[in-house]
Structures are given as C-alpha cells and as structure tokens.
Structure 1
Amino acid sequence: MQKKTDPILEADKLLMAAVDEAIDNAARTAGPELQAGGSRVSPRDYFADGVLRHLFLRLCGADPTTYKGGDPETAWKILYAGRGVARHWERESGKPPAWRGKKDRREDIEKDRSERQQLALSAQNFAITTAIRALLDHARASDPEITDRLEAVIDARHARLESKSDTDHEFTERAKTYLSLLTRRPD
C-alpha cells in the first residue's frame, strides 16, 4: 500500500529547501565581502536574518526597501506569537526568562489578556462543537430527519419576525451556516 503524501507538507519542504539554498548561495557569493567588512556574524546567519526581516515586512504589508506602510496590528500579532514561543521555550528548559527588558506596557498587558480570552473562547467553541456533533451523530441514528427539523426551527424564527431587516436576513443565513457545520456528517 502506497503512503499518501500531503501536498501542503511537500510544498512546505520544497519552500524551506529553496530558502536554505538561497541563504547558502548568498553566503557563498557575498559572504567573503561581508566578513572582510568586519561582520562578527557568520554570513549564513546574516543573510538568514535579512530573509527574516524581509518576510516580516512583507507579512506586515510594508515596503521591504523603505520599511514604510506596514500594518502595526499584524506586526504586533507576529511579535506576540514570537514572545509566546520564547516563553514556552523558557518554561520547557526550566531556565528563568532570558530577556528582562522594559516593563510590559499597559496595552501589552491588555493585549495578552485579550489573546488569552480569545484562546479560551476558541477552546470552548471547539469543545462545544465536538460535543454537539457527537450528540447529533447519535441522535441521527433514531431521527434521520434531525437536520431538517433543526433548520425548520431557524426558518420558523425568521418567519415570526415582523419586519425583516438586512441584519435579520444575515442572522438567519449565519445560523444556517453554523448549523450546517454542526450537523455535517464526519468524513
């Protein structure tokens, strides 16, 4: 039996290989000039850092040559993700935090709190969705029409509304979309 490959995983491997090759080529081509100029960093690390900066600017929507026009919200999300990874590695190693810079700003603390709340809501939503799907799969065995009956409840709610605004229509459509996510049969 042939093992099924994941095309996304394969594309990621090809991408990482191409990035490594580009860094190696830059280090071979311009590395001697870099070191002759007094750089204390290895050419490979220097160019890897350059790639990281370039990608950061692109992901933030900034011009990589002028550093202008970036979205600060995207930049903060990337930096917070990196900070979270660093804290995880510190806890994993059992060592005290390596970097004690400025005290966290009030807005940084608030952003961390908001991200933790969002994580908690996402985990709660996942657990509820998982439980509802399991219950619906079980109920479907004795009531094959359960999905139609649940959708009828949404339609009945919409029909009871006196005046139907755009918001009412959007609410109904979103309710049906969420219901379809909960009632779809497992693959």
Structure 2
Amino acid sequence: MTQSNPVLTPAERKIADIIQRADRELSAAVLLALEEATKQAADDMRAAGQEEAAPALQYFAAVVHQRMYCLMCGADPDTFEGGDPDIAYNVIRNCQNIAKHYWSADIEPYPPREIERKQ
C-alpha cells in the first residue's frame, strides 16, 4: 500500500499548524485536569479516612472517554439518550482498528457499515 503525503499550500500548512497546536494544548489540559481530579479525590478520600479507596487516574480517564463518546455520537452523557447509532458504530470500529493496527490486538474490527447494510 502506498501512502501519499500531499504538499500543502502555505495557507493549508498554517491551518494544519493551528489545529495541531490546539490539539496539543487540549491534550495537555485534559491530562492536567485528570491529574488534578485524581489528586483531589485522593486528598478527599484521605480526609474521609478512605485513602485505599481513592480512584486511579484511569478511572477518571474512563469517565472522560465515556462522556466524549456520547458527545461524538450526539447522545446525552448523563442519560445516554439520543445519539446516532451509525456514528457510535464507526467510533467503536475506529477504536478496534487502532487496537489491532498499533497494539496487535487479537480483534477483528466490525465490517464497514455500508457493507453490512447491503448484505
């Protein structure tokens, strides 16, 4: 398989740079918020005498992931109501493809939605 790397115009490069910078800043802000939530929960649990029950950073990351999944699908993150099942299907399929391609997960991603509907 060949991959093409198109040559961007100066205007396209500027747009790409702006988006990449915003992406890095967003990622840093989310990580900082996760770390702060983890620390705050640990401090509060310690004050309540429940230090060993403090949730790990991964717990809060899973909460953010679930809420963002709902946001991408158009569902209410508090009730899970609404949302587009086609988008949900494709988001899950994308995650499966990432796990298989980058982490050698033993998984067969869902077939593309268009193929499934024609059968």
TM-score, normalization: structure 1? 0.44
Q: CA deviation at 1:88?
A: 1.0
Q: Deviations over 1:110-157 (max 9, x none)?
A: x37839xxxxxxxxxxxxxxxxxxxxxxxxxxxxxxxxxxxxxxxxxx
RMSD: 3.3
Cα distance, 1:76–1:13 mapped onto 2, change above 3 Å: same
- What's the counterpart of residue 38 of structure 2? 27
- What's the counterpart of residue 57 of structure 1? 70
Give 2:74's aligned amino acid.
Answer: G
Match 2:95 to one of 67, 82, 94? 82
Q: CA deviation at 1:31?
A: 3.0
Return the alpha-carbon distance in structure 1 between the equivalents of residues 51 and 61 of structure 2. 18
5+ residue gaps, structure 1, are: 116-187
Aligned residue runs from structure 1 range 30-41, under 5 A: 30-32=41-43, 33=45, 36=50, 39=53
Do the aligned residues in 1 keep the contact of 2:41 with 2:55 (CA within 8 Å)?
Answer: no
Q: CA deviation at 1:24?
A: 1.1
Cα distance, 1:73–1:37 mapped onto 2, change above 3 Å: farther
TM-score, normalization: structure 2? 0.66
Return the alpha-carbon distance in structure 1 between the equivalents of residues 24 and 76 of structure 2. 27
Q: CA deviation at 1:39?
A: 4.7
Which has more radius of gyration? 1
Look up the SS of the partner of 1:62 in the other structure. coil
Identity of aligned residues (%): 30
Moved over 2 A (4+): 31-34, 36-41, 111-115
5+ residue gaps, structure 2, are: 1-12
Structure having the larger proportion of residues in helix: 1
Cα distance, 1:14–1:114 mapped onto 2, change above 3 Å: same
